[in-house]
Structure 1
Amino acid sequence: MLGRMYNRDFDVVVYGATGFVGELTAGHLAAHAPAGTRIALAGRSAEKLAAVRERLGVDWPLVVADAADEPALARLAASTTVVATTVGPYGKYGHALARACAAAGTHYADLTGEVVFVRRSIDENHETARSTGARIVHSCGFDSVPSDIGVHALFDAVRADGAGELTDTTMVVTSMRGGISGGTIDTLRHQLDELRGDRDLRRMAASPYSLTPSRADEPDVGRQEDLVTVPGAEVHPRLRGTLGPFVMAGHNTRIVRRSNALRGWAYGRRFRYRETVSTGASPLSGLVARGTKAGVVAFYAGMTFPPTRFVLDRVLPKPGEGPDEKTRRNGHFTVDIFTTTGTGARYRSRFKATGDPGYAATAVMLGEAALALALDGDALPPSEGGVLTPATGIGDALVARLRSAGVEITAGPA
């Protein structure tokens, strides 16, 4: 198992440190990384990196490497135990870095919510990373740590109690407050552009099992949809109102299913997983839930159709723009994951954090994921390496670090 590599210059390199989330992640590491952690800032502009370093008040080394410069990325990967990258859209800028890390035996963590990128990374990098011991861990932010680690914690609680396997499992975003950045919108544009005109790619992305190792080996648990509305009482008797669709379900659910498959379907061969958002307990919650679903569908359609995208692009945030400091500070989210086990027992896990979900909280999640990969080798899940998930690549080591960072992660009978 690869742990901290003292024959390398750094423990963690933050790639994309001059970007919005990159600087937030570097700031979290500056404030919370253990003393003696060897950290560097990387990106394509030495001048901008120096400005970030000055704002953070650190003396970390700077590494200049453009996302298109494969020799520079290879040197970057070979210099460190872990690369934490915030440079997206990953489908546009991320493939070369992931390949370089897999080849160099360097652990890697990113923030992608792009199904196509992760699928291609699996196809390109999984076997190489297994041969070198690299843990290539995608989706280490709000996509998809609360989902993947939340189910991981739920599974651990059920297993410890001998309560059987997980069956019908539903994530509910109980509360959430935050902003949106231009980088997120730009990633969505790139994903939609990739899918336009490519029927096979659309079919792959639409499959609930698009990230699992082998669709043929997956147990048949029936249809699993991304955008669902469901009565709360169907999920748990104490839940009121109607649950609406969660916009990030299309990526998160596939990461969670990959975790189950990589673990040999340890969660259960009848494990079904979906994601929703609470719309309240009022008599109007059903209308709100259906309206939410219609709004999500309409937004994606609008971003696909050129005339409406032109209009939306004039009002949506531009790349490099994001929520202000007050919004980031006042943001929060609570995610509850409910399951019924094979013995009929009901369990719930909770993942709760302060800070804007996609930015302040995401910086904590990515920063702690990188530290766990760099410093906690003995606590990482057994693995030969490969393209993994937060649960299968970092697991309890990430749970412990996030709890120490103030994130609430709990699980037990519900």
Structure 2
Amino acid sequence: MSEPELDIIVYGASGFVGKLLAEYLVKNAPAGIKIGLGGRSLEKLAEVRATLGAAAAELPLVIADADDPTALKVLAMRTRVVATTVGPYAKYGHALAHACAAAGTDYVDLTGEVLFHRDSIDANHDLAVSTGARIVHSCGFDSIPSDLGVHVLHKLVQADDAGEMTDTTLVVTSLRGGISGGTIDSVRNQIDVSKDDARLRKLAASPYSLSPDREREPDLGRQSDVTVVDGRKISPSLKGWKAPFFMASYNTRVVRRSNALRDWAYGKKFKYSEVMSVGSSVISPVVAGGVALGLGALIAGLALPPTRFLLDKVLPAPGEGPSEDAQKKGHFTLDVFTVTTTGARYRSRVRAQGDPGYSATAVMLGESALSLAVDSAEDTSLPKAAGVLTPSTALGDVLVERLRSAGFEISAKKL
């Protein structure tokens, strides 16, 4: 087969996050990297291209509807990497991921949908292994900070010969950003898909729903994603009680898949959870409990037609996003704490400026695509892997260094 004419196609470039991604790549891709803008509307893609400046004036526009497998096959064959922002992925992502797996084209997306990710593993992993494609889901705030935070922690523990990781907890130390309409829509879609199917509900709830081999996963007892915990149980230095983190039900499964794909290198007793700080005052247990109740109420509300109707009036719609000024004021700091089988304690930190779900996510997805388009071509230190992978198992240290160069802090230390 001839070499693809493009290096990266941004699929969904006329959407809110898609445009942010296109802007980032036009500004930051190395000279010679050929970028195309993909979507279903030529007119809208042309409008986006016109806003990207003179450097983007000749970017190819690639037309393909998410429901047209033939057009998606042609799109996948025209490029080395597809970066897609078109969700919910359970509605619009299956055909594109499969087209890339079949063509041997690398693929990155922003999904935070357990059931879509599981379906993609079942449909595409073996095929992608055979073609050499790297299908890398969850390359935004879901779930790069979680996955790379544990990745760098593991590397330091390994370098210190400090045993295996056991109880490991990500703590959202600080967070400022808007609620993503796309994320809310993904939650709605997963509720709709599974509400009448007990098998799917059980699969979504399983802590190892994304594992390559669930039979080999260790039995570590109950692992709840809706947990309220005293910070001192996570690390002696932490004050205040911690509340459930609303993205934990997805991120935790991605991190556990990374462990399994690495033949449980993090540890057979590796137990992972995610929580968020609500302050350290004496009322922090009450606040944390209130957050837990609120999250439960939101899910229940979206599951019931009368309350969903009301929630849909106030929650952001897909394709909407914060102003440029609000995006710049956003930020996040995530700390990952672990204790090893030798009793040593470690902490990693992932921190960045920019709205987590929008501007910072555009950086993460953009650098993921560039890792595959640039570093793969240079045959550098990308992991030698193919199939349906996680950010850390597909991109590893290459993505860590790229994000550091883009202004992220990704660090680890012994406590």
Instruction: Please confirm whether the aligned pair reaches a TM-score higher than 0.5, indicating the same fold.
Output: yes
- Number of the residue aligned with 1:270: 269
1:118-174 superposed Cα distances (whole Å, 9 cap, x missing partner): 000000000000000000000000000000011001001111111111110000000
- Number of the residue aligned with 1:403: 404
For 1:180-219, what aligned pairs fall within 5 Å after superposition?
180-219=179-218
1:378-408 superposed Cα distances (whole Å, 9 cap, x missing partner): 3354334100000101111100110110010
- C-alpha contact 1:84 1:108 (8 A) present in aligned 2: yes
- Distance, in Å, in 2 between the alignment partners of 1:300 and 1:383 is 39
How far residue 184 of structure 1 moved from its aligned partner, in angstroms, is 2.1
For 1:129-168, what aligned pairs fall within 5 Å after superposition?
129-168=128-167
Could you tell which deviates more after superposition, 17-26 or 221-230? 221-230
- Number of the residue aligned with 2:395: 394
- C-alpha contact 2:383 2:395 (8 A) present in aligned 1: no
Q: Find the partner of 2:38 among 37, 42, 56.
A: 42
Give the letter aligned to residue 246 of structure 2: V
- Distance, in Å, in 2 between the alignment partners of 1:279 and 1:319 is 28
1:58-102 superposed Cα distances (whole Å, 9 cap, x missing partner): 121110000001111000001111000000000000000000000
- Number of the residue aligned with 1:11: 7
How far residue 375 of structure 1 moved from its aligned partner, in angstroms, is 1.2
**TM-score (norm: length of structure 2):** 0.97
- Distance, in Å, in 1 between the alignment partners of 2:304 and 2:66 is 29
Identity %: 63
Structure 1: gaps spanning 5 or more residues:
none
- C-alpha contact 2:146 2:170 (8 A) present in aligned 1: yes
Query: Would you say 1:379 and 2:380 are equivalent positions?
Result: yes
Give the letter aligned to residue 148 of structure 1: D
SS at match of 1:379: coil
For 1:63-212, what aligned pairs fall within 5 Å after superposition?
63-212=62-211
1:27-49 superposed Cα distances (whole Å, 9 cap, x missing partner): 11111111111110000011110
- C-alpha contact 2:383 2:396 (8 A) present in aligned 1: no
Could you tell which deviates more after superposition, 186-195 or 258-267? 186-195
Could you tell which deviates more after superposition, 370-379 or 127-136? 370-379
1:253-292 superposed Cα distances (whole Å, 9 cap, x missing partner): 0000000000000000110000000111100111010000
- Number of the residue aligned with 1:222: 221
Give the letter aligned to residue 21 of structure 2: T
- Distance, in Å, in 1 between the alignment partners of 2:180 and 2:413 is 35
- Distance, in Å, in 2 between the alignment partners of 1:316 and 1:384 is 39
- Number of the residue aligned with 2:307: 308
Could you tell which deviates more after superposition, 187-196 or 263-272? 187-196
SS at match of 1:108: strand
- Distance, in Å, in 2 between the alignment partners of 1:102 and 1:144 is 21
Q: How many equivalent pairs are there?
A: 410
- C-alpha contact 1:158 1:412 (8 A) present in aligned 2: no
SS at match of 1:293: helix
1:284-306 superposed Cα distances (whole Å, 9 cap, x missing partner): 11101000000000000000011
- Distance, in Å, in 1 between the alignment partners of 2:342 and 2:225 is 27
Structure 2: gaps spanning 5 or more residues:
none
- C-alpha contact 2:172 2:334 (8 A) present in aligned 1: yes
For 1:226-237, what aligned pairs fall within 5 Å after superposition?
226-237=225-236
Q: 1:324 to 1:6 in 2, by over 3 A?
A: farther
Could you tell which deviates more after superposition, 101-110 or 384-393? 384-393
Give the letter aligned to residue 87 of structure 2: G
Give the letter aligned to residue 272 of structure 2: Y
Q: Find the partner of 2:19 among 23, 30, 38.
A: 23
- C-alpha contact 1:9 1:79 (8 A) present in aligned 2: yes
- C-alpha contact 2:112 2:183 (8 A) present in aligned 1: no
- C-alpha contact 1:373 1:380 (8 A) present in aligned 2: no
1:166-217 superposed Cα distances (whole Å, 9 cap, x missing partner): 1100000000000023222222111110111000000000000000011110
For 1:361-380, what aligned pairs fall within 5 Å after superposition?
361-377=360-376, 378-380=379-381
- Distance, in Å, in 2 between the alignment partners of 1:123 and 1:182 is 28
How far residue 6 of structure 1 moved from its aligned partner, in angstroms, is 8.1
SS at match of 2:90: helix
1:335-376 superposed Cα distances (whole Å, 9 cap, x missing partner): 000000111000000000110000000000000000001111
**TM-score (norm: length of structure 1):** 0.98
For 1:255-334, what aligned pairs fall within 5 Å after superposition?
255-334=254-333
- C-alpha contact 2:375 2:382 (8 A) present in aligned 1: no
- C-alpha contact 1:175 1:335 (8 A) present in aligned 2: yes
- Distance, in Å, in 2 between the alignment partners of 1:316 and 1:352 is 27
- C-alpha contact 1:189 1:303 (8 A) present in aligned 2: yes
